[in-house]
A and B are shown apart, each in its own frame.
Chain A
Amino acid sequence: MTAMIEVEGLRKEYRRWRGSPTVAIHGLDLTVPEGGVFGFLGPNGSGKTTTIRCLLGLVAATAGRTAVLGRPTPADLPTVMRKIGAIVETPAMFPTMTARENLELFGAIDGIGPRRVEASLATVGLAERADEKVRKYSLGMRQRLGLAGALLKDPALLVLDEPVNVLDPAGIREIRELLRRLSAEGRTVFLSSHLLSEVEQTCDRVAIIDRGRLLLSGRVDDVLSAAARPSLLVGLDDAVAGADVLRRGGMDVEPAGPLLRVELPGTEAAHITKLLADAGLYVTELRPDTVSLEELFLDITGREEVMS
């Protein structure tokens, strides 16, 4: 599979006037394959935005190698950037211009015409307010405009840094659907976020970084199933009696909220239901004890709370 983004041994230090430099990224390795939505997860200050800025040539890497669309960056950025749409943090547009004027202005650099501008505005739901000055836009509308700008080039790769950060729930849902649609069109979306549930719902693949280091990377399903415990969650009207029965049956049982966690692989579900039914207890709920991305994140980063 072709790699859309390759990062090898990326290190970024910010020098300070006094004292030792701040290391934002410690030898990061990352590969983003072609197609799908790739989630780039990490808490605030973990190095996500710095990595993206390195990829886009906005900051110079202290060490390591980066390549986008198979070409080394930043050396070949002027060539490959025409196939990349990007937003970094909250995109800054020119406030005294309208949304349409902003996009037409940027489009003029790459010879993009008004038809494409209209299409991009429509895609992000800004067509009806395209003639308002950007300074009157809310943060969410500015974010959408940034996304419209990123789509303007009809990009093969979208690099989006926290694109849903300031959107309301309806806006987040729209953008999620849009990203899935763009992915279905064959584009690769590289999505940086600290909204774990959002990434879980949107992304096919995920990489988690913290303190400038890659902690984990892979397909979301694989990552979650690898992290899942071999246990089942059991719901009963009388959980205490149920726990007794299961323990007498030789199983490890512990309470998990209103449910019981039974240390058994999912294939043993029938054994549990038989034991309980023989004791006159009926199961109201029975499911594998899956792990959410949020739990996994907290587990591997050792943090007590989800970021932000």
Chain B
Amino acid sequence: MRFVGLTVVEMRRALHRRLVRWMIVLAVALCGVMGVIVYLTSRDPSELARADEHPARMSSWWISGGGDGILTIAALYLVVGAAICGASVAGAEWRAGTITTALIWEPSRLRLHAARTASAGILAFAIGLALQVVFLSAAAPAVLLNGSTAGTDAAWWGALVLAMIRIALITALVAVLAVSIATIGRNTSAALIALAAWALVVERLIAGFRPQLARFMISENVATVVPWAQMTDVDFERPPIVALTALVAYLAVVVAIATASFARRDVASA
């Protein structure tokens, strides 16, 4: 019971962070802008007919098996946002010194860290799912007024919902990863730099110079899990379930290191 209460408290604290709130507000605002653009660009039926994919045609929201559709844009924002917010939730504790206050109230470091990690994952999943709904809802007026729902049968709806759940799951995994790295580094910026350097530099270099190792990279596994399909234009085979298992395993290792670090190191100056 105490763990559940602590997790709820950690979620409330995370939601009170200005950065988290601003990222949500920015996401909603961008959804609104996207909705207006989709509506305006779909007013001319001939132009809409010429476009290969357009969000005013509902079937373009998600294309099963190809990993394409406007939902992938939302996925990119959610992954970046989860990294920033996750790192901030953990890193700011050390900068502000609230970690000392938190440990005075919950001296069990394992419980506190577990609650914080769980709260980051749960919140990121819920926010990720909610923002995808907002994102797609913003395109709904264009669909209803200018576009069409052709091709959106039950199977398509099922695939869309599963894709949204997978994107929310990846959002949660990234948030937990960011919390863990910020806990190890005790710093928001260091965590973000480490994450960006790993994803944008280290993994690209490894994939470039050692293509046979590319299937082990986080980016490649995420790109497999989101569409739940084998990546195209690559020299390796990676079934989605293996990619998801790999991501969870990587995360488990980082979480374990973060937990050990948090449990053992002194809180001397915060």
Stretch at the interface among B44-52, B57-65, B102-110, B187-195: B102-110
Give bound CA distance, A260 to B264, whole Å: 59
Q: Given the interface contacts A78-B108, A81-B104, A81-B107, does A108 sit within 8 Å of B9 by beta carbon?
A: yes
Task: Encode contact with B along A15-53: 1 for CB under 8 Å, 0 otherwise.
Answer: 000000000000000000000000000000000001001
| Chain A residues, Cβ within 8 Å of B16 | 94, 96-97, 101
Contact A92 B97, beta carbon cutoff 8 Å: yes
Does A88 lie at the interface of the complex (its beta carbon under 8 Å from any beta carbon of B)? yes
A133-181 contacts to B, CB under 8 A, are 146, 149
| Chain B residues, Cβ within 8 Å of A1 | none
Does B127 lie at the interface of the complex (its beta carbon under 8 Å from any beta carbon of A)? no
Contact A95 B6, beta carbon cutoff 8 Å: no
Q: Which of B8, B18, B101 sits near A96, CB closer than 8 Å?
A: B18
Contact A105 B12, beta carbon cutoff 8 Å: yes
Contact A92 B100, beta carbon cutoff 8 Å: yes
Q: Which of A14, A59, A97 sits near B267, CB closer than 8 Å?
A: A59
Give bound CA distance, A101 to B9, whole Å: 11
Does A77 lie at the interface of the complex (its beta carbon under 8 Å from any beta carbon of B)? yes
Does A56 lie at the interface of the complex (its beta carbon under 8 Å from any beta carbon of B)? yes
Contact B266 A60, beta carbon cutoff 8 Å: yes
Output the residue of B6, B268, B270 with the most chain A CB within 10 A: B268
| Chain A residues, Cβ within 8 Å of B105 | 81, 106, 109-110
Does A57 lie at the interface of the complex (its beta carbon under 8 Å from any beta carbon of B)? yes
Give bound CA distance, A121 to B8, whole Å: 23
A92-119 contacts to B, CB under 8 A, are 92-97, 101, 105-106, 108-111
- How many pairs of residues, A versus B, come closer than 8 Å at their CB atoms? 76
Of all chain B residues, which has the CB nearest A153?
B105
Output the residue of A81, A88, A109 with the most chain B CB within 10 A: A109
Give bound CA distance, A269 to B18, whole Å: 70
Does A242 lie at the interface of the complex (its beta carbon under 8 Å from any beta carbon of B)? no
| Chain A residues, Cβ within 8 Å of B13 | 94, 105
| Chain B residues, Cβ within 8 Å of A95 | 96
- Please name the 6 residue pairs, one residue from A and one from B, whose CB atoms are nearest each other, closest first: A92-B97, A77-B107, A59-B266, A58-B267, A78-B108, A92-B98
Which residues of chain A have a CB within 8 Å of any CB of chain B? Answer: 14, 50, 53, 56-60, 74, 77-78, 81, 86-97, 101, 105-106, 108-111, 146, 149
12 contacts between A and B (CB under 8 A): A50-B268, A57-B103, A60-B266, A81-B105, A90-B97, A93-B98, A93-B101, A96-B17, A96-B18, A105-B9, A108-B5, A109-B6
With A58-B267, A94-B98, A109-B9 known, 14 other A-B pairs at CB within 8 A are A56-B103, A56-B107, A58-B100, A77-B108, A78-B108, A87-B104, A89-B100, A91-B100, A92-B101, A93-B101, A109-B105, A109-B106, A146-B101, A149-B101
